[in-house]
């Protein structure tokens, strides 16, 4: 089985953000899994759509450039579950869409198999009338009764008043169950500081563990 972790970023993304994500993903990357950080001039959805046209992998893990694994278990688990035809992703909401507060697997941190994507009808990642970037894939899976595994927030550095459901919210610097961290709003200076601090914390802890 061929798998990849895939990140797109634009030229205005600071080099230190790209470099720190690269360090951490490669530290926790499963054996035999590829990792691509792709510089693009297109927006997120068209970049994903264009890549998926090639179909080089059985399982694709999408990570925003400000999304990182926090341990060595989370990426293998995402790949394993995706290989079993389950859509996997962090729980997010599109607040600008009137879709009854639909919670979906966000492409900020998502995994799926080629087979699942085909069965769901190969939907574009572009926003639709009923959903934001990547949300259509969750809608299709729900309609076809394909399992959707959501990672829910367990800690938020700076809550932004973004509710998911039942008092659960996410915001700037959200840690999700299983061990994914998504920063959000990375183009803001404060958000970049939060991300760099988190990456430094992860790398320092891992280095200390290896040297202990």
The model's pLDDT over 46-103, given as tens digits with 9 standing for 90+, comes to 999 999 998 789 999 999 999 999 999 999 999 999 999 999 999 999 888 888 889 9
pLDDT band at 206 (very low <50, low <70, confident <90, very high): low
Of the candidates 102, 162, 170, the residue with the CA atom closest to the CA atom of residue 132 = 102
What average pLDDT does the structure give for the chain?
A: 93
Q: Quick one: pLDDT at residue 96?
A: 80
Q: Where are the alpha helices (DSSP H) in 92-211?
A: 114-119, 135-143, 189-211
Answer whether residue 183 shows pLDDT above 70.
yes
Q: Quick one: pLDDT at residue 211?
A: 47
Could you tell me the residue ranges of all domains in the chain? 3-151
State percent of the chain over pLDDT 90: 79
Please say whether the beta carbons of 43 and 12 come within 8 A: no
**186 vs 134, which has greater pLDDT?**
134
Burial zone of 78 (CB within 10 Å; 0-12 exposed, 13-18 middle, 19+ buried): buried
Burial 35-64 (b: 16+ CB within 10 A, else e): bebeeeeeebbebbeebbeeeebebbbbbb
Pick from 86-100, 132-146, 155-169 the range whose average pLDDT is largest.
132-146
DSSP single-letter state for residue 92: E
CATH number of the domain at 3-151, please? 3.90.550.10
- Cα-Cα-Cα-Cα dihedral of 134, 200, 178, 62, to 10°? 20
Q: What is the pLDDT of residues 163-175, one digit of tens each?
A: 888 888 888 999 9
Q: Quick one: pLDDT at residue 209?
A: 54
Please say whether the beta carbons of 118 and 143 come within 8 A: no
* Phi-psi group of 179: left, alpha or beta (phi > 0 → left; psi -120 to 50 → alpha; rest → beta): left
HSE-CB for 91 with a 13 A CA cutoff:
21
């Amino acid at each position: 089985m061929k798998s990849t972790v895939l990140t797109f970023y634009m030229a205005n993304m600071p080099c230190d953000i790209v470099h720190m994500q690269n360090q951490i993903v490669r530290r926790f990357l499963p054996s035999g899994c590829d990792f691509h950080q792709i510089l693009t001039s297109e927006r997120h959805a068209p970049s994903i759509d264009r890549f998926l046209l090639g179909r080089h992998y059985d399982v694709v893990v999408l990570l925003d450039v400000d999304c990182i694994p926090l341990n060595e278990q989370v990426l293998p688990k995402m790949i394993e579950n995706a290989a079993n035809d389950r859509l996997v992703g962090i729980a997010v909401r599109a607040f600008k869409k009137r879709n009854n507060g639909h919670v979906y697997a966000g492409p900020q941190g998502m995994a799926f198999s080629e087979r699942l994507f085909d069965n769901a009808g190969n939907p574009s990642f572009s926003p639709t009338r009923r959903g934001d970037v990547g949300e259509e894939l969750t809608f299709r899976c729900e309609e076809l009764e394909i399992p959707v595994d959501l990672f829910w927030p367990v800690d938020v550095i700076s809550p932004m008043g973004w509710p998911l459901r039942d008092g659960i919210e996410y915001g700037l610097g959200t840690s999700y169950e299983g061990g994914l961290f998504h920063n959000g709003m990375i183009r803001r200076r404060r958000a970049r500081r939060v991300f760099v601090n988190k990456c430094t914390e992860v790398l320092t802890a891992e280095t200390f563990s290896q040297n202990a």
